Amino acid sequence: MKPTAKQRIWMYERMLTSRKLDEAVFEAYWEGKKPIFHMGKGPLPGEMHQSFGQEPAAVGVCVHLGADDAVGGNHRPHHTAIARGVNLKRMAAELFGKKTGLSGGRGGHMHLYDKNVSFFCSGIIAEGMGPGAGFALAKRMRKQPGIAVSFNGDGAVNQGAFHEVMNMVGLWKLPFIAVIEDNAYAVSCRPSESTAVRAWKRAEAYACGGEYVAGNDPDLIFEAAGRAVEHARSGKGGYILEIQTERLHGHFIGDSAGYRPKEEVAAQKDPIPLYRQRLLDEKVLPAAELDALEARVKQEVDAAMKFGRDSDYPAPQEALEKVFA
Footprint on this chain of another protein (rule: CB under 8 A): 70, 101-107, 111, 113-115, 118, 120, 122-124, 127-139, 141-142, 148, 160-161, 163-165, 167-168, 171, 322-325
CA pair distance 170, 38, nearest whole angstrom: 45
For residue 109, the minimal CB distance to another protein (Å) is 12
For residue 121, the minimal CB distance to another protein (Å) is 8
CA pair distance 134, 169, nearest whole angstrom: 10
Of 123 and 250, nearer to another protein (C-beta) is 123
For residue 1, the minimal CB distance to another protein (Å) is 28
For residue 271, the minimal CB distance to another protein (Å) is 31
Q: How open is the CA angle 271-110-112, to the nearest 5 degrees?
A: 90
Of 289 and 312, nearer to another protein (C-beta) is 312
CA pair distance 118, 63, nearest whole angstrom: 15
Of 40 and 160, nearer to another protein (C-beta) is 160
Burial of 133 (0-12, 13-18, 19+ CB in 10 A): buried
Strand order in the sheet with 148-153: 119-121, 70-73, 148-153, 176-182, 239-244, 209-213
For residue 307, the minimal CB distance to another protein (Å) is 16
Of 131 and 215, nearer to another protein (C-beta) is 131
CA pair distance 229, 138, nearest whole angstrom: 18
Of 59 and 70, nearer to another protein (C-beta) is 70
CA pair distance 207, 210, nearest whole angstrom: 10
